[in-house]
Amino acid sequence: MASERESFDLSGPLHLTYVLWDNPYHRMSVAACLVQGVYILERDRQEKREGSDALAPPWWTFFHFQLLRPLVDDVDSSIFGAIYEFKPPSSQSNDTLYRSPRYVIAFRGTLTKAHSVSRDVELDIHFIRQGLHKTSRSNIAIQAVRNTVATVGDSNVWLAGHSLGSAMALLTGKTMAKDGNFIESFLFNPPFTSAPLEKIKDERVKHGIRFAGSVITAGLTIAMKAKQAKQQPKDLFIDPFTALSAWVPCLFVNPSDHICSEYIGYFEHRRNMEDMGAGVIERLATQNSLGSLLMGAFGNDSEPSEPLHLIPSASLTINVAPSDFKEAHGIHQWWKPDLRLDQKLYNYK
């Protein structure tokens, strides 16, 4: 049975009758709706809703997109992503289409339904263990983006995702950025694998914990880099974090969502460390997680896995309106008309 939130007519942004593509709120809302379209595509498949009974199409046709093709998981045959093509009306002038995409590739998050939940949870665990890049779903996603970019160029493509799908978009965006393709990306409630220190109310305690963590992480990073330098010629060693710094994905987080809220502290702590003259320490610490370094130091791997959730640069948008966890983690919040947002740009130096 369809829920109210699956219906665009009942819960979609009907107020967005005209999209200004250079307006950040409009761009955010459209990207979020295209992600919601992927969720409903999979729900349509599970509920066998076809033709006029399907609920997914309005989530993209309202904004003049067409579904080019769904992305299907090879393990459980669930739809986890979609490639959309923008088909604006001929009446629209080129001036109104400034900064609009030609294609959007969107990924959904975990669906707690019997037909897909086991595979989604398996991928959630892969993400936590820093192994999402080893899964077949990520290979399908990356290949789809590579093919699209090869056809139309990176400036004509958007990436979008929510929760687990945000992690998938982040992995794909990082992979493309390493090849010099910087894709505009909209990451809603991206998961951050760390203790939710943002829940600590005492700022001094919170800063003390972060500072101690940075010092330990920086020390381990120096040790691991020295180990790597012995294993490969100096002229072949390229810092992957610095190479990614030109890519600035848009992150959308809510402080009440412990899954993504740590991004707030991650970027703010970096700025605080710079202000107090400890930027050198933080530049080392910010690109590694303590957990991955310890696994690399004491595990069987000679080199720790690259932490997917850590990124050098970002445009961070925070929904500051108070809410419970379910609402704070939901995709629906990002197209509400009365949002209270705080936006900050962080560029890695």
For the stretch 67-97, pLDDT in tens is: 999 999 999 999 999 999 999 988 787 777 8
Cα–Cα distances (Å) from 47 to 42, 60, 299, in that order, read: 9, 20, 45
H or E stretch including 70?
A: strand 65-72
Whole-angstrom Cα distance, residue 267 to residue 310? 10
The per-residue pLDDT for 129 is 87
Structural contact between residues 94 and 17, judged by C-beta atoms closer than 8 angstroms: no
- Structural tokens at position 176: 């493309």
The verdict on residue 310 lying in a domain is no
Structural contact between residues 78 and 107, judged by C-beta atoms closer than 8 angstroms: no
Supply the range of the domain harboring residue 118.
Answer: 4-188
Per this entry, what is the length of the chain? 349
The verdict on residue 102 lying in a domain is yes
The verdict on residue 94 lying in a domain is yes
Whole-angstrom Cα distance, residue 14 to residue 17? 7
The per-residue pLDDT for 225 is 54
The verdict on residue 10 lying in a domain is yes
Tell me the pLDDT of the chain (349 aa) as tens digits. 567 899 999 999 999 999 999 999 999 999 999 999 999 999 999 999 999 999 999 999 999 999 999 999 999 999 999 999 999 988 787 777 889 999 999 999 999 888 889 999 999 999 988 899 999 999 999 999 999 999 999 999 999 999 999 999 999 999 999 999 999 999 999 999 865 555 666 566 555 555 455 555 545 455 555 554 455 554 444 567 778 989 999 999 999 999 999 999 888 877 666 666 554 555 555 565 545 444 444 454 444 457 888 899 999 999 998 789 889 999 999 999 989 999 999 998 7
The verdict on residue 221 lying in a domain is no
The verdict on residue 12 lying in a domain is yes
Structural contact between residues 33 and 12, judged by C-beta atoms closer than 8 angstroms: yes
pTM score of the predicted model: 0.84
- Structural tokens at position 204: 């001094």
The verdict on residue 290 lying in a domain is no
Positive/negative CA dihedral, 297, 302, 308, 312: positive
Of 45, 153, 158, 65, nearest to 107 (Cα)?
158
Structural contact between residues 135 and 59, judged by C-beta atoms closer than 8 angstroms: no
Whole-angstrom Cα distance, residue 37 to residue 19? 18
Cα–Cα distances (Å) from 62 to 77, 88, 331, in that order, read: 27, 11, 18
The verdict on residue 293 lying in a domain is no
The count of domains in the chain is: 1
Structural contact between residues 292 and 130, judged by C-beta atoms closer than 8 angstroms: yes
